[in-house]
Structure formats: structure tokens, C-alpha cells
């Protein structure tokens, strides 16, 4: 089936990136920062340097592996922050309604009106560039989509019988939201969270490319692409491999999210069965 193919292909791509990042100290040939040798500058890919070397003579294969650690950290942590904020706002707005729902809707509309990358750029301009600032900037930009999804699902679920039964049994508000509603709206949240990780990886690469993300010489796929701009004609491999890493990571997460959506969404499966 198609969704199984998406799930397996996306999972394989993402697993390869995770394995490369986790086991980078054992898989890397050299230190990605310290082992710079101008005598080895811009060596094409070969037996000694699988992905070639950059203008400072650093092994690109090692830098791509260590760059996976940064991209995965940013993707996972920033999306967790987005998900927690979005779920908290969406769940409470959908269940309580009233003035709180109006306030959350207005705040969400305001966030949706601001391009997320521009908002992240503004935050990074205020904070000093670095991993912590990057996590804060990306963690505060894309929660509105999760909020809208959670609110809509909560409005639908809170009318069902088992929620009313929990109310009649004297369950508290937060207990109902956490034990009765949240588990039944978790499927779409997981899907949008997986897709959001791919967007976070792209955003991190974009900010690092602009010099507002991870500071050199620490390896980041975006900063590697930025450093390779002057050598793109003479040494294209310097930009090809970090670009491929970004492409495979985002493609894998998108396919994985698509496969999870088909599994977790019963309406999708019923349409395909029909």
C-alpha cells in the first residue's frame, strides 16, 4: 500500500540521519572543527575523503555527520516547544470557550499573519546567535498551526458521550482534558509535529545560511552551504553533500508524516478502502 511505502521510505531516511548523528564520533574520519589542513583544501571526493574537503581542508563527511546532530536537536526540541504551546492553547480554548477562546483565536490569527521565518529572524536579531537562541526563536514561531488543529479536534471530541460521562462522574477540568480529550486528538498532533520537524530543519538551515544560526566553525548544514558559495563553480561537492543531507532529512520527515497520517486517520483509511 502507498502509505506503507511512504512510512518505510520516510522512516528509513530519517533513521539514517539519526544513526549518522548519534554515531558521528565513531563514523567520522576526523574532527569536524579542529582537523583543518590547508594542504588538503578542496580535494574532490575519493577513497580518503568520501565527500571531499572544504576550503580549509576539513573532511566534509565528518562535518555532515556532526551537522546532523545540530539539525536533529533543533528539529526535535523546537517542535516539542511548538507542540506544547499549541496543545496548551488549543486544548484549553476548545474546551473552555468564551473570552479565552476569543483571545487565543486573536493571538493565533496574529501569529499566522507574520511569516514565521521573519519572526524568527527578528528574535535572532535581538538574541545573540547560537543554539539556545535558535531553539527559542524556532520554538515560538510555528505553534499556531498546532493550536488551530488541537482546538478544532477538541471542539469535536468534547461533545461525545464519554466526555459527558466523565463530567457526570465528577472529573475535574484538567483531568478531563488530559485523560479523555488529549489521547483522542493525539493522532493529528503527532502528524503535524512530524511534518513540523522538517520545517524546523529547513528554518535552521536558512538562519545558519544567513549567519544568524549556529556560529562557525561548528558544523551546520546551513552554514556549510553559506561557506561553499564562493566555491560552487570550482568545488561543487562542498555544497552538494550538505544540500543532499537537508533534502533527505526533510523528505524523510514529510514521507514519515504522510504515512503516519494515513495510519492514524481512520477516515483516510476508509476512503482508500472504498
Q: Please report which confidence band the pLDDT of residue 191 belongs to, taking 50, 70 and 90 as the band edges.
A: confident
How far is residue 101's CA from residue 83's CA, in Å, rounded to a whole number?
18
Which three cell numbers, joined as nine digits, stand for 263?
495510519
3-class DSSP assignment, residue 127: coil
Burial of 6 (0-12, 13-18, 19+ CB in 10 A): buried
User: Model-level pTM?
Assistant: 0.84
Query: pLDDT tens across 91-136, in order?
Result: 999 889 889 999 999 999 998 888 888 888 888 888 877 788 888 8
How far, in Å, are 7, 65, 149, 153, 254 from residue 271 at the CA level? Answer: 18, 41, 21, 20, 21
Amino acid at each position: 500500500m502507498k502509505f506503507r511505502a511512504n512510512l518505510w521510505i520516510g522512516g528509513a531516511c530519517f533513521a539514517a540521519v539519526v544513526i549518522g548523528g548519534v554515531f558521528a564520533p565513531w563514523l567520522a574520519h576526523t574532527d569536524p572543527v579542529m582537523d583543518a589542513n590547508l594542504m588538503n583544501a578542496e580535494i574532490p571526493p575519493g577513497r580518503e575523503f568520501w565527500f571531499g574537503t572544504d576550503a580549509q581542508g576539513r573532511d566534509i563527511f565528518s562535518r555532515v555527520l556532526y551537522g546532523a546532530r545540530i539539525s536533529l536537536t533543533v528539529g526535535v526540541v523546537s517542535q516539542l516547544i511548538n507542540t506544547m504551546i499549541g496543545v496548551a492553547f488549543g486544548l484549553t480554548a476548545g474546551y473552555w470557550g468564551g473570552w479565552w477562546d476569543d483571545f487565543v483565536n486573536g493571538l493565533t490569527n496574529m501569529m499566522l499573519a507574520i511569516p514565521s521565518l521573519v519572526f524568527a529572524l527578528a528574535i535572532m536579531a535581538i538574541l545573540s546567535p547560537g543554539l539556545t537562541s535558535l531553539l527559542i526563536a524556532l520554538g515560538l514561531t510555528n505553534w499556531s498551526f498546532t493550536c488551530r488543529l488541537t482546538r478544532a479536534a477538541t471542539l469535536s471530541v468534547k461533545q461525545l458521550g464519554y466526555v459527558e460521562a466523565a463530567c457526570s462522574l465528577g472529573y475535574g477540568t484538567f483531568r478531563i482534558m488530559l485523560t479523555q480529550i488529549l489521547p483522542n486528538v493525539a493522532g493529528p498532533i503527532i502528524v503535524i509535529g512530524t511534518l513540523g520537524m522538517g520545517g524546523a530543519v529547513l528554518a535552521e538551515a536558512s538562519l545558519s545560511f544567513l549567519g544568524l544560526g549556529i556560529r562557525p566553525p561548528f558544523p551546520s548544514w546551513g552554514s556549510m552551504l553559506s561557506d561553499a558559495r564562493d566555491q560552487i563553480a570550482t568545488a561543487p561537492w562542498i555544497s552538494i553533500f550538505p544540500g543532499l543531507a537537508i533534502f533527505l532529512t526533510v523528505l524523510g520527515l514529510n514521507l514519515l508524516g504522510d504515512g503516519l497520517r494515513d495510519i492514524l486517520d481512520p477516515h483516510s483509511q476508509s476512503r482508500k478502502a472504498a
